Each structure stands twice: as structure tokens, then as C-alpha cells.
Structure 1
Amino acid sequence: MISQTVTFLIKCPDAKGLVAKVTNFFYLNEFNILSCQQYVNSVQNTYFMRIRLNADGTGITKKELEERFAYLANPLHMTWSVHYGERKQRMAILVSHTSHCLYDLLERNKEGDLDCDIRLVISNHQKLKPIADMFGLPYHYLPVSKKTKGEQEQQMIELIEKNDIDLIVMARYMQILSSQFIEKYPERIINIHHSFLPAFQGANPYQRAYERGVKLIGATAHYATTDLDEGPIIEQGVERVTHESTPATLKRIGADIERLVLAKAVKCHLQNQIIVADNRAIVFPEAGE
């Protein structure tokens, strides 16, 4: 028997009767629908659905469910995924010097706000080891240089595979991951960029924001892709600032935004609220969970 809570994420060309066909399928298979969220992109004529189900009492296996749903989905040209709730997703956190995002994620996980299993912290510096120690997590110090980048990333891959990691979070990891690394984990790497993208991509955004005299600063959480800071945006946040703000002030305000934005993006991923379409992230709101 499959786990009690099941989430389907569905994308397909828009057409009449999709809701009826999908919900009737689950009715006939004795599922109870907990929530059903929909979005239609009228520009691209694409339909998106997130449907959460209670499987208690169905007696159906995962294989049977997926085979039956594929029979419905294929003629409708659906791209879909199914997520079962019996195992918490396993997460690895990548960090460098800066501690605020790391500490925030670990604290939220400890308090139950992020429902996941954080397995390890990886860093190219030793500085943040005391924080990992405080939360009882393995801390892997993997220094990197231009010459050793390939070797260091291979070490990271070995740790990720050994721990069966589902999600990799770059919590201010100030290294550019190689295309080979990113392509190995599509839509499984979340990065926090300390700027409201697409403005001020790359390094030192707060200094450049100060020089530009901006009146709003922000942060962006996105999936990492081979195009630097160009991946599907999951969450963003902003705060107003004034001409009196110094680069140090902007950095301090920005750190608070980064914490909130990264935590929200990670939570959305863990709760299977995201469907990626081209380079856009369709993020369904929390449905009373």
C-alpha cells in the first residue's frame, strides 16, 4: 500500500475537461482529494495542476497507481511527477564564509518549520564548522582552487550520492558550480542570490546597488542552472532603503531578506509546490497544509 499522502504535479496543453478527467480518475481509484490547485498560462496555452491526495484505504501500490495514471496522462500529453509522503527529503547545505542563511535553515529545521532531513554541511572554508557542530551535523571541509575544482566537486558528488541527497541548498556558497555538476542535479539545487534579480547579477551586488543609488534592495532564490543567476526564480523579497544607506547598511538589511527568501523557497520545494516550465517556476501557494 502506498503512503497516506500523495502529491501529483501535472503540466499539459490546456483543454476542456482536464479537471473532470483527473479528479474522476482519483475518485474511481478511491482517493480522497485534500486540495486541488490550478493555473492556466493563456499565453502558452498550458495547464498546470497540483493535487494532494489521501491514499488511506485505497490498497493500491505505487506501481499500479503510476501505470494507471500514465494510461490517462499519455493521450493528454501530460508531463507529471508523483511524490509520496512516507520519507522526508534529504538535504545538503553548501556554505562558504557567511553564516546567517545556514543558521536560519538549521534553526527552522530544528523547530519543525522545514520538514526535511538535513544530512550534512559542505564548505570550502572551516569557519562555519561550529554552527554545524552545534546542531550535531557532519561538516565536510573541501577547499577549492581553480586547479582543484574538478576534484573538489567530485568529492561533493560522492558525499551527495552516499547520503542519498534529494535537495542541495547553496546557502551563500560563493563558488560557481560547474555545468557538469549542475546538470547532474536538475531542479535540485537552490541558490540564494543577494540581489533582486535580474538586477546586479554576479558578485558584490550591495556595493553596486549603493553606487546606483537604489531605493529598493532584495534577494532572489532560484534553481541553479548552467547560466549563472539565470535559473527559474522561486521566491523574491525586497525592502525600501534611502540615500543614507551605506553598503554596510544594505548588506545588513539584505541578510534579513536572504534568510526569509531562501527559507520560503526551500519550503516550497520540500512541499512539492513547484512546477518548472521552460525557465519559469510555477509556485503554487501553500494550500492549508
Structure 2
Amino acid sequence: MAPLTHNQLIFKVDPCRKSVNGPFPCLDSQYRKELLRVYFKVVKQIFLRFMKEKRNKLMEDKTRWTSLCAFWLGMDQKPRRAMSREKMDVIQKLVVKHFFINKNVTSPLVMDFLFKGLNSLVLDTNKEKIILTISKQIVRLLKDDSDASEKTLKTLEDEPKKEIAFAAKELAVPIVSVDNDMFVLADDAMLLLEKAVLEPFPDERVPPNRMEVDYDEESDDEKLLTEYARHTLEVFVLDHIFCNKIEIAYKEASELKMHEELIR
């Protein structure tokens, strides 16, 4: 670069910033929109490729899978619950390490959508907790009211379940929920592994007529990538728990069993 003269001034703008709630680099919203116009398909393929690779690996050995399921079902509930969770900061750092490639223009865009996917996951978990908490408080107050009928109480108790079921139907049943600073599997680990392998990827929505006034291509693209990013995060958490906790426990139990058989 040529040396500056006395009447020259250069501004250097960095559109990237660190997210408040984690290590994800985030982008200025306008800069994200500009990148999205060019790199939408590339980012989508990055998420898709990751999920396909994990799916192919998770249940490739059917015989071993059957043995692993038997081991898991024979385990007590307490250690199973303990293995079904991981600290958020551990996962987030591993996600950044896996997806962020320095000097690659798509990497900040990938990280930005992973952050949006994480926010979506946290928001949905909080919605569920809020619905249940408010409902319980209303039911408790009405139970103290002698005029409240049993039918009314039953309706109020069932309402949050309907709300949550509706949300699950709209957004697909979650694999992972958030509990304080932990990622927690939303169901039995083996059932979730099968679900992750067998269920279709987030739907490719058919865009409406582009001449319609209410159609916003950028907004729809952002929503779709956020959905892919969220699902990618869930698969990442599931794979991490499976490889670093369940498989290790299974190997240790298998080695112990083999050792005992040799002694006999």
C-alpha cells in the first residue's frame, strides 16, 4: 500500500463481532444479507454435508448397534441421564473449531446462522417452560377458588400440552433442549439416534410466486438456513454425546465383560 499523505484518511471496517452469549462470530445484518445473496447454496450445502456424514456414521454397523442398544437399556436411569447432557460452552467451542475456517468468506456466514439456530433452540425451550409455569400457577390459584369446576381445571391442565404439541408439530420434534448452561437430549438417546438417521432433512419450502407482494426471498432464505443450522447443532450435540460418552461407556463395559470371561 502506498504511504499516506497528510490529507488522506483510511477507515477500516470489520463487519464481524463476537456474540454476547458464546464464541460464535456474528455479522452485521446488512452485511449478512449481502453475503446471503451470493452464498446461500454454499452455506446450505455445508450444513447438509455435515448432517449426512454424521447420519452415515451413526448406525453403519447394525450388529454393533444392536449390542449397544442392549447395553444402554440395561443401564440404570441415573447414569443414562448423566450421559444425556453436555455443557453448552464445551459444544459451542467444538462447533466453532469444526466450522470456522479463517480467511474463508462463507465461514462468518455459517457461524452467524449457527448462532441464530442456537437462539431458536433456547427460545423454544424457554417458551415451553413459560407455558407450563403460567399454566401451573393459574391451576393452583383456581384450586383455591371453590367456584372453579373440575372440568375447568382439567381443561387448563391440558392446554399447555396442546400448545407444546402444536409448536412441536410446526417446528419438528426437538432432539435437544437447553437447561441453564447445559444441552440436554430431549428423549432417550437411542430413540433420538434412530430419529436423526431416519427422519428427512428440514423441508425445502417451495417458494411462492415471486410476483406476490408479501414474498420476501431474503427472509425465507434466512429462515431456512436458521432451521438447517439449528438441526446441525442438534446433530452435533447428539453425535458428541454418543461418541464421547455412550460409546466410551460401552467399550469399557465390553472390555470388562471380556476380562471377566477370560478369568473364568
TM-score (norm 1): 0.23
Higher helix share: 2
Larger Rg: 2
Higher strand share: 1
Return the structure number with greater relative CO, CA threshold 8 A, min gap 6: 2
TM-score (norm 2): 0.25
